[in-house]
Structure 1
Amino acid sequence: MTPDPERPRLDARLVPAALAAWAAALVALGLGWGPGAVVVVVALVAVGVGVLRRDRRWAAGVLAAGACAAAVGGLSSSAAWQVADHPLRAAAASGSAATLTVVLTDDPAPVRSSGLGGPRVVVRADLVSAQGGGGRWVGEGDVVLLAPAEGWVGLLPGQRATASGALAASTRGDLTVAVLRTRGAPREVTPPPGVQVAAGDLRAGLRDAARAVLDDDPAGLLPGLVVGDTSGVAPDLADDFRTAGLTHLTAVSGANVAYVLGAVLLLVRLARLGPRTAAVLGLVALVGFVVLARPSPSVLRAGAMGAVVVLALALGRRRSVLPALAATVVVLLLVDPALAVDAGFALSVLATGALVLLAPPLVARMRERGVPPGIAEALAVPVAAHVVTAPVVAGLSGEVSLVAVLANLLVAPVVAPATVLGVLAAVLAPWWTGGAHAAVWLAGPEVSWLVWVARRCAGVDGATVSWPGGTVGGLALAGLVVLGAVALRWRRVRLVALAAAVGLLLVFVPTRIVPVGWPPPGWAVVACDVGQGDALVLATGEPGRAVLIDAGPDPGPVDRCLARLGVRSLALVVLSHLHVDHVGGLAGALRGRPTGAVAVGPVREPLDTFAQVQGRVRAAGAPVVGMERGVVLRWPGLALEVLGPVHPSTHVDGEDGSEVNDTSLVLRATTPLGRVLLPGDAERSSQDALLASGTDLRAEVLKVPHHGSRSSLPGFLVAPGSRLALVSVGRGNSYGHPNPSITGLLAGTGALVRRTDESGDLALVPGSRGPAVVARGDPLPDPRRR
C-alpha cells in the first residue's frame, strides 16, 4: 500500500525519551533510590556516547533519552531517598501517636465503608509539621489521612488543618511518607484560597441547577460528568457505571478538557479567526476549566493531556501531536515524579496516545469501507481508548468488563455535548439562573441516556469476568491485546474473529442474560451470589413476589439476582443487622420493585448506617418496621419466625464488629421444602443465648452464620441437624471465609456444604429425599442432587 500523501506521518523521535524517563522514575520509586542512582549513571553514560557519536540522527535520540532519564531518574532517586530517610517514616513503622499539620492537595475522597464507625474519607496532603514519637519535625512530605467524613468532607485543596491519630506505614508505591488514622474532625482549619472558593461557587451553581431541572440520577451525574463532582451520584448508579466500564466519565480527564477546548476552537473556526487567536482563547478556556474543576494534581494532569491533542491539531501541526505528548510526559514527571506510579497518569497517557496513534488509522479504514465521517470518529475513539487502557483497568480491578466497548460506543455521541452544556451551565449559574437552567435542560436527554445505558449494560448477567489483578494481570492482558492486533492484520484471522463475534452475539450473550434452566422450577429459597455478603430470596407462593433477607454489599448483584428470578415485588425486606455487607445493596433491591416494608431488629446501630437505610427506604416509598423475638409472619407458601436475638443489647459500640453481629436477627423460614435456619452474622454470644434458652433450632437447611467464620459455636452449628448448609461468601475475600474448620465440622455431620463463591447463585428445589440444591449454571436442575 502506498503512503497517503495527505496523511502526515507522526514524529516519534521524542517517544524513547519519554519512555526512558518514565522507566527511570519507576525504578527509583519501585526499587529504591539505590537502583535509581544506578539508572542515572547509565543514562549519563548514554549521554556521553550520544555526544561522541558521529551519526547525528542516532546520537540525538540517545542523547535525548539519556538526558531525560538522567533528569527524571535523579529527581526520583532524590525524592525516594528523602522519603526513606524521613523521620516520620520510623515513627509510622512503630505505630506511634502523632499530631500532623498538613495542607490538603486534593478533595477528600470517600472510601467504601465496612459499616464500622461510619463513612470515612481519604485525604491527600503535604506535611507542614509533625509531633509524635518523642519528637517534632518541620518539613515536607506527602501524607495520607484516613478520617471520618464528618468534618473533613467539604474541605478544599490549599486549606491547612491539624489532626491527631495513630501513624501507620504506607503501603503505596509512591512517595507517601506515612498514613495517619484519625477519628476526629480537623482543627485549626484555615480559609481556602480564593481560586478554590470561586470554583466552589461555580460547582454549587451547577449542582443547584441540575437538581432544579433534572431527575435524581441525571442531576447527580451531570456535575460528575463535567467536573468530577460525584457527591450526588447514588451508590448503585456508581456501581453500574463501574460494571459497564463507564467510570472514567465521572473523573476529570483529558477528554473533558478536549471537549471544552474543541467547542471553543470550533467557534473560533466558524468565526474565521487566526491560529494565534485560537491559541489565546484556547488557553483562556483551559485556565477557566482548571479553575472550575479545581486545580488539584489530577486536574492539572488532565489539563495538560487534553491541551496537547486539541491545541496541536487546531494549529494545523498534526506531526507535532506525538512530540507534544512525549514532552508533556517528561515535564510532568519532572514536576511530580510520583506520577510514574499513578494509575490515573498511566490511563491519561494511554488514552491520549490512543487518540493520536490508533484512532486516525481506524477512522481512515472505516471511511475506506464506506462508514460516514462522523460515525467513523464516534466509533473509533472509544474503541481505541478502551483497548489501550483495558490492561491497566484489569490490573487495578481484577476483572474485565465484557460490555465496556458496547457501552462506550453507545454513549460516545452524547458525552461531548453534555460536558460542554454542563460547563456552560456552571459558568452562567452565578449570574443568570434562567440561562443555567436552559443549558441543563438541553443536557438532560444526553445525561439520561448515559444513566439508561449504564443501568442496562450493568444489568447484563456476566457483564464482567474475573482476571488476575496487579502487574502480572495487566501485562498478560496487554500481551493478548498486542497479539490480537497483530493477528487481525491477516484477512483470514479477521473473518474467523468476525464469525466468533457473531456466534457470541447469537449464542453466548442471550444465554448469559437469561441462562437456560434458571430459575429452576419450584424454587423456594435462593442464596444470591453477591460477593462478601448475604442476600437470600424466599418465595412467598405468589407469582413474582418474594421476601428478601439482607441485600449484600452492593446494589448491582442483588438487583440482577432478583431480576433473574423474575421477582417484580417484595412482600418484605429483612435486614438482619446494620453492617454494609448486608445493607449496602438495599437501593438495588428496591429499585423498581414495590415493597411492603423493610424490617430491622430491635437494635438500630450503627446510627449512621440506620440513617442511610431510612433515607433509601423513604425514597422507595416503603415503611421501616421493627422485628423482635416471637414475631411470626405468614404468606401462602412461606412462614417466617423470629427466634433471636434472645437478649438484645440496648446499646452497642458501632465500631465493634462482634457486638453488631450479635444483634443479628435469627430467623427460621418454613417453606414447602422444609425449614431453613437464617442466623445472619450471629456470633458466639448470641448463639450461646439461643442454645441456653432451649429454642427449637431444628431445620433441614442451615445458612451458615457470618460467611463461615470461626466465630460460631460447634454446638450451634450441629443443633439444627441440617442436611444442607449454604455459605454466602465472596470469592477471594481477605477474611479467610469460610474457615476450613467450620466447613469440615458441617461436612462431618453428613451435611452437604455449598458455597456461593464456588457455585454462584444457589437454589433450593424439590428433591426425592427432601430439599436439593441447584447452582445456576448447572446443565439442568436435577431433583436427585442434594
Structure 2
Amino acid sequence: MPPEPPASEPPASEPPPPSGPDLRLVPAALATWAVTLLGLHTGWLPATLTAILLTATAVTAACLLPRPRKPTHPATPAPASTPHAPTPPRRSHSRRLLRHRLAAATLTTCALAGAAAIGIALRTHATATHPLHALAERGATATLTGTVTGDPRPMRTPAYGGRPTNSNGTVLTLDLESAHATGDQLSTGGTVLLLALHDSWSAVSPGQRLRTTGKLAPARPGDLTAAVLRVHNAPELLGTPPFWQRAATHIRTGLRQASAVLPSDQAGLLPSLVVGDTTTLAPRVVADFRAAGLSHLLAVSGTNLAIVCGAVLLLCQALRAGPRTATAAAALALLGFVILARPQPSVLRAAVMAAIGLYALTSGRERAAIPALAGTITILLLADPELAGDLGFLLSVLATTALVLLAPRWSDNLRQRGVPGGLAEALAIPAAAHLFTAPVVVGMTGELSLTAILANLLAAPVVALATVLGVLAAVLSVIHPGAAELLVHVTGPAMWWLVTVAHHAAAVPMSTLPWPSGAGGAFLLIGVLLVLALLLRRRRFRVLFLAAALLAILVLVPIRVLRPGWPLPGWAVVACDVGQGDAIVLATADPGRAVLIDTGPDPIAITACLRDLDIDRIPLLVLTHLHADHIGGLAEVLAEHAVGAVGISSVQQPPWAVKEIRRVTGAAGVPLVELHPGTSTTWPALTVDILGPRSPTALGATGERASGTALNDASLVIRAHTTAGRVLLTGDIELAGQADLLADKGSELSADILKVPHHGSRYSLPRFLATVRPRVALISVGADNDYGHPSPLILDTLHTQGTQVLRTDQDGDLAIAPSPQGPVISRHGKEKSRTPR
C-alpha cells in the first residue's frame, strides 16, 4: 500500500475583511469638529497654535510610515518529502501592519484637522480684524451693499415695548460687497446679520442685491459675522434675484396659497412639512410638535429629501429605467428640491445627509456608509465652519448615524423575532434616531419626551405621502392653481392626522420628564443610557426592567389622570410663566371658563398654560396696556379659545399695536371694548372691578405718541374678588400711576394677593406696597432679563413687611387656591421656562 502523501499547508490568503463598520475616518471627522469649535469660541490665535501642532504631528506620522519594500523572489519550496517545512513568521508582519495603520490614521486625522484649524484661524482672524467689527463696538452708522442669503426669518427676541414676536421684525444674512461708514468706503467681504423692523423686509428674496443703512452692533461670540446691523427703513433693491430664486419664491408662494383651503393649523403645517416654510405655521402646532418629539418634521431635513428621491427612484423602477437613468433622475430631483427649499447651509447639509441615508438603505453597505458620513462631515465643516456650533447640524449627524449604524441591526433583530419587515423598520428607525438625539434635545429643552417614539411611529405612515403630494402641489400651483388645491385637499387627512397625533401626544399625562438642561443634563442622560445598555445585556435585568416599566405605567399614569399635580384643585388665580411679560388667569365657578388678564409676549407659552389649565372659554380678555410683553399672544389665544370680548384702555397707543389688535379681533369676530374706571363685571365666584387709570387724558386724545413710562402709567388696574381673596392686578404702573391710585383709593387698595407692578421694577413706591400689604406677591418676570427685574429693593421691601414673594422666573406657573389656613401655593413646570431664551 503506497504511503499516504503528507497533508500540505493550505495556500496563504488575505485576511477576511472586518465584519464591523469601517471607522477609520471617524477620528478625523471628530478631530475636525473639535478643532473648528475651538477656533469659533477661542479665536484665531489658539486655532493657529493648534494648526502648528497638528501639522507637526502629521509630518511626524508621515515619517513613521513604513517605506514599501522591494519585492523579493519567493524561496524555493521545500521538497515534498520534508515532513515539517518551516512556516514564515507572521508576528513581525502583523506588527508592521499595525504600525502602518496607526501611522496612516494619525496622518489622516492630523492633516484634516490641521486644515480645519488653518481655515478657522483665517476666518476668525478676518472677522476679528474686519473694519465693521471696530465700528460695531462704537455703535456707528453704516451703509451696506450686498446679497441676501437665505429666507427672511421672523424676529424672535421681543424688546420691551417693541413689536411682538409674531410681528414683521425680520432677521436676514447679508454677504457684503461694499460698506460706507464715517464717510469712507471700507474693504469688502464678510457677512453681516440684519435685524430689520420695517414691514417690507419680509418680502425680500434670497439672492437679492440691496443697499441699506442702519446702526451697527457687535455680533455674538462664536459667530463669524462681522457685525449686526439694526435697520428701521425699507431696503433699496438693486436689480432682481437670479431666475431660479424667483422661481422658487413663486412656487413657495403658490403652495402657501393652495394650502389655504385647509383649516388654519393644517394650512400652515403643509408648507412647513414640504419645503420648510414656517411663515403661516400656528404657534400652537409648534408647541404640540415640540412636546411630542415631532419638531424635526417642521424643518427641511434629510427625511424630506430622501422621500422625494425615493419616490423618483420608485417611479423609474416602475418605468423600467436603467440604473444610470434612475440615478440621474434622482440627482435632478435632489437639485430641484434644494433650490425649492433654498440652497442655504441647513438645506445643503440635509441634502448630503439624505444622499448618505439613501445610499445606506438601498445598498445595505454599512461599512461604506460610515466613511461616507465621516467624510461628508469633514468636508461640510471645512466649507462652512459655523456648522460646528449648529445644533441642527449635530442632530442631523446623530440621526443619520443612528440610521446607518443602529437601525439596520435593530430591524434585523426584530425580524428574527417574528416582527414583519415593514413594521420592524418602522419601529427601529424612530427608536434609534430618538436614542441618539435625545441627549442633545434634553440639553436644549430640559425635558425628556416619553412619547416621541410612539408619536413618530404613528406619524411615519403619512409623512412620505404628504411630502410627495405637497411637492407636486407646489409645482402645479404655478401651472394650474385649481389642480394644486385639489392635491392639497387630498393631503388634508394626512395633515389632520399629524396635527391630531402631535396634540394628543403632547397632552398625554407625564408625556415629558423634567431633566437638567444644558451640557450637564446631556452628559447625564448619556451616562444613564450607557448604564442601561450594559445592564440590558443581561436577560434577568431585562425582565426586571420591563416589569418595572409596566408597573410604572399601570400605577403612575392613572394616579396622574385621577389626581393630577397640575392644575391645583380649586385654584382661583394662576400666574402663567410667559417669560418677560404678564399673563394672569382668574377662575370662575364654571369649569373650563376663566378671565384672562394680558397674554404675555409668546403665543406658545400662553396657549400651553391655558391648555394645562383646561381653559376653553374666556368671557373677557383684558389687555392692561398695549406693550408687546402683554399682547404678543393675543392672536393665538383668540384662535384657540372661545373669547367673549377683548377689553382695552381708552389710551390706545402705540398706533402699530392698536392696528394689530383691531386686525386680529376683527378676523376672529370678537368685539373690542373700552374699559373705564368704575366698570364692574361679575361671574360665578369672580368679580372684576376696574380701578384705573385715573388720568388717561394726560396722554393726549390728540393721538400724539406717548413715552413708555406714560403708557405704563396708563395701564388698566384691576381688583378681582376671588375665592382665594382680593387680588390687585396693577399692569405696569410706575410712580405717577401708583401715586394717583393712592390719592384716589387709599386704603381700598389693600389686597390678599398683589401682582407686583412692572415685573418688580424699582419704580414702585414703598408707600404703595405698604398700603396694599399683600400676603402673597406675584412677580411675572423672565429669567436672565436685561432690565434688572425684579429689583432687590422691591424684594427687600416686600420681605420686610412679611409678604410671601413668588416669581415665575424661579417657580414657573404659579397657582393660588383658598384654604382655611390661607392661600395654598402650587408651582408647575419650572425645569425650564416655556419661553425661548
Q: Give the TM-score of the pair, scaled to structure 1.
A: 0.91
Q: Match of 2:151?
A: 107
Q: Match of 2:186?
A: 137
Q: 1:31 and 1:561, CA in 2 relative to 1: closer, same or farther beyond 3 A?
A: closer
1:588 deviates by 5.1
Please give the alpha-carbon distance, in whole angstroms, between the structure 1 residues aligned to 2:589 and 2:126.
68
1:158 deviates by 1.3
1:197 deviates by 0.4
SS in 1 for 2:21: coil
Moved more, 217-226 or 51-60: 51-60
Moved more, 199-208 or 263-272: 263-272
Q: Match of 2:803?
A: 751
Q: 1:11 and 1:572, CA in 2 relative to 1: closer, same or farther beyond 3 A?
A: same
Please give the alpha-carbon distance, in whole angstroms, between the structure 1 residues aligned to 2:451 and 2:704.
42
Q: 1:653 and 1:345, CA in 2 relative to 1: closer, same or farther beyond 3 A?
A: farther
Moved more, 358-367 or 759-768: 759-768
Q: Give yes or no for the alignment of 1:697 onto 2:749.
A: yes
Q: Give yes or no for the alignment of 1:572 onto 2:620.
A: yes
CA contact (8 A) 2:568 2:826 kept: no
1:272 deviates by 3.8
> What amino acid maps onto 2:153 in structure 1?
A
Q: Give yes or no for the alignment of 1:357 onto 2:357.
A: no
Moved more, 350-359 or 707-716: 707-716
Post-superposition Cα deviations, 1:113-154, rounded to whole Å, max 9, x if no partner, equal 346332322111211112224642131112111111512112
> What amino acid maps onto 2:30 in structure 1?
L
Q: Match of 1:289?
A: 337
1:280 deviates by 0.8
Q: Give yes or no for the alignment of 1:539 onto 2:587.
A: yes
Q: Match of 1:784?
A: none
Alignment of 1:68-467 (within 5 A): 68-112=112-156, 113-114=158-159, 116-118=161-163, 119=167, 120-133=169-182, 135-212=184-261, 214-311=262-359, 313-314=361-362, 317-460=365-508, 463-464=511-512, 467=515
SS in 2 for 1:680: coil
1:235 deviates by 2.4
Q: Match of 2:101?
A: 57
> What amino acid maps onto 1:662 in structure 2?
D
Q: Match of 2:70?
A: none
1:194 deviates by 0.7
Please give the alpha-carbon distance, in whole angstroms, between the structure 2 residues aligned to 1:655 and 1:271.
69
Please give the alpha-carbon distance, in whole angstroms, between the structure 2 residues aligned to 1:532 and 1:506.
39
Moved more, 505-514 or 15-24: 505-514
1:614 deviates by 3.6
Please give the alpha-carbon distance, in whole angstroms, between the structure 2 residues aligned to 1:716 and 1:237.
42
CA contact (8 A) 1:653 1:659 kept: no
1:511 deviates by 4.6
Q: Match of 1:37?
A: 48
Q: 1:191 and 1:177, CA in 2 relative to 1: closer, same or farther beyond 3 A?
A: same
Kindly tell me the number of residue pairs found equivalent between the two proteins. Answer: 772
Q: 1:439 and 1:78, CA in 2 relative to 1: closer, same or farther beyond 3 A?
A: same
Moved more, 639-648 or 218-227: 639-648
CA contact (8 A) 2:161 2:629 kept: no
SS in 2 for 1:339: helix
Q: Match of 1:660?
A: 711
Moved more, 634-643 or 512-521: 512-521
SS in 2 for 1:279: helix
Please give the alpha-carbon distance, in whole angstroms, between the structure 1 residues aligned to 2:560 and 2:636.
20
CA contact (8 A) 1:321 1:356 kept: yes
Moved more, 473-482 or 189-198: 473-482
Moved more, 459-468 or 669-678: 459-468
> What amino acid maps onto 1:596 in structure 2?
G
SS in 1 for 2:647: strand
CA contact (8 A) 1:313 1:321 kept: no
Q: Give yes or no for the alignment of 1:717 onto 2:769.
A: yes
Q: Match of 1:781?
A: none
> What amino acid maps onto 2:790 in structure 1?
P
Alignment of 1:500-515 (within 5 A): 500-512=548-560, 515=563
Post-superposition Cα deviations, 1:16-44, rounded to whole Å, max 9, x if no partner, equal 22222222222222222222222222332
Q: 1:116 and 1:533, CA in 2 relative to 1: closer, same or farther beyond 3 A?
A: closer
Please give the alpha-carbon distance, in whole angstroms, between the structure 2 residues aligned to 1:50 and 1:272.
51
CA contact (8 A) 1:108 1:123 kept: yes
CA contact (8 A) 1:124 1:144 kept: yes
Q: 1:471 and 1:126, CA in 2 relative to 1: closer, same or farther beyond 3 A?
A: farther
SS in 2 for 1:11: coil
Q: Match of 2:5?
A: none
Q: Match of 1:782?
A: none
SS in 2 for 1:105: strand
Q: Percent identity?
A: 50
Post-superposition Cα deviations, 1:182-226, rounded to whole Å, max 9, x if no partner, equal 2222124431111100101111221122113x1111111100111
Q: 1:519 and 1:201, CA in 2 relative to 1: closer, same or farther beyond 3 A?
A: closer
Q: 1:568 and 1:625, CA in 2 relative to 1: closer, same or farther beyond 3 A?
A: same
SS in 2 for 1:358: helix
Q: 1:178 and 1:508, CA in 2 relative to 1: closer, same or farther beyond 3 A?
A: farther
Post-superposition Cα deviations, 1:208-258, rounded to whole Å, max 9, x if no partner, equal 22113x111111110011111111112232233233332221211111111
Aligned-residue Cα RMSD (Å) equals 2.9
Match of residue 23, structure 1, among 14, 17, 34: 34
Unaligned runs of 5+ in 1: 779-786
SS in 2 for 1:439: helix
CA contact (8 A) 1:115 1:578 kept: no
Post-superposition Cα deviations, 1:328-356, rounded to whole Å, max 9, x if no partner, equal 12222232222222222222222211211
Alignment of 1:468-547 (within 5 A): 468-512=516-560, 515-516=563-564, 522-547=570-595
Please give the alpha-carbon distance, in whole angstroms, between the structure 1 residues aligned to 2:207 and 2:172.
12
SS in 2 for 1:140: coil
Q: 1:537 and 1:186, CA in 2 relative to 1: closer, same or farther beyond 3 A?
A: same
1:311 deviates by 3.8
Post-superposition Cα deviations, 1:366-388, rounded to whole Å, max 9, x if no partner, equal 22222221122222222222222
SS in 2 for 1:625: strand
Unaligned runs of 5+ in 2: 1-15, 67-96, 830-837
Q: 1:760 and 1:626, CA in 2 relative to 1: closer, same or farther beyond 3 A?
A: same
Please give the alpha-carbon distance, in whole angstroms, between the structure 1 residues aligned to 2:819 and 2:520.
45
Q: Match of 2:700?
A: 650
Moved more, 199-208 or 607-616: 607-616
Give 1 or 2 for the bigger CA radius of gyration: 2
CA contact (8 A) 2:814 2:828 kept: no
CA contact (8 A) 1:275 1:315 kept: no
Please give the alpha-carbon distance, in whole angstroms, between the structure 2 residues aligned to 1:598 and 1:313.
55
> What amino acid maps onto 1:578 in structure 2?
L
Moved more, 250-259 or 434-443: 434-443
